[in-house]
Structure 1
Amino acid sequence: MPRSTWKGPYVAVSLLQEVVALARKHPNWWNKGRYIGQKAPEVINTYSRASVILPDFIACRFGVHNGKSFVGMEVQEAMVGHRLGEFAPTKATVQHKAKEVNTQKKKINPKTGKAA
């Protein structure tokens, strides 16, 4: 079941505090720079994969923990409403080895009549 609408989206308090601290530390970027395409001056590392991305997070850079390391991501407008954990996969994709195909014809020994 989805979260009830009257509760609102879940965002970790520590994550909100870090975003507010970023806004206070770099007011020029927060007010103008992020709207004209400047990159965020800092990366906010978080373990809170369940937090919902808010519109205030647009253009912020987050490092979301995947269980082993922090996966970097920059929030874009299309990501609003999704959870941070959706953009940091926890499992590596498996790449199976391709079988080697021998395309050369086998040479037949004329004396024995068998493949060499």
Structure 2
Amino acid sequence: MPRALWKGPFISKDLFRKLESSTKILRTRNRSTVIVPSFLGKLIEVYNGKNYFPVLITEDKLGYKLGSFIFTRNYKKFTKNDRKLKK
């Protein structure tokens, strides 16, 4: 279910304060912040649990959450067992 419209989008207060005061790259661990138009053109580094990954905010990303552009799990492609191939 989508978030109730009367509540509005969730924006981290700390991130919003940093955004207004700084022009440098912003670092955040808050993946649940919704991207709003005031973030446009900014570079935000989002933490995935191990490293910070840069996200450049464009118009296509408005309304999404920061965490939807950062993967937290490694993708492991299935490979055949080497022992069977050697025989």
Question: TM-score, normalised on structure 1?
Answer: 0.66
Alpha-carbon distance in 1 for matches of 2:80, 2:60: 37
Quote the offset at 1:99 in angstroms.
6.5
Quick check: 1:10 aligned with 2:23?
no
Where does the alignment leave 5 or more consecutive residues of structure 1 unmatched? 27-41, 103-116
> Per-residue deviation at 1:71?
1.0
User: RCO (CA 8 Å, sep 6+): is it higher in 1 or 2?
Assistant: 2
Aligned to 2:19: 19
Of the candidates 41, 49, 55, which is equivalent to residue 59 of structure 1? Answer: 41
Residue correspondence of structure 1 range 1-116 to structure 2 within 5 A: 1-22=1-22, 26=23, 42-97=24-79
Cα-Cα RMSD: 1.6
- Superposition deviation, residue 93 in structure 1: 1.1
Q: After superposition, what is the alpha-carbon deviation per residue over 1:8-57, rounded to whole angstroms, capped at 9, x for unaligned?
A: 100000010010012xxx5xxxxxxxxxxxxxxx2111011000000010
- 2:34 is paired with a residue whose SS is coil
Hey, what's the Cα distance between the residues in 2 that align with 1:98 and 1:57? 45
| Structure 2: runs of 5+ lacking an equivalent | none
C-alpha separation in 1, matches of 2:44 and 2:80: 36
Q: How far does the alpha carbon of each residue in 1:85-112 deviate from its partner, in whole angstroms, 9 at most, with x for none?
A: 000111111123356779xxxxxxxxxx
Residue type at the aligned position of 1:8: G
Structure number with larger C-alpha Rg: 1
Helix, strand or coil at the partner of 1:56: helix
Give the aligned partner of residue 30 of structure 1. Answer: none
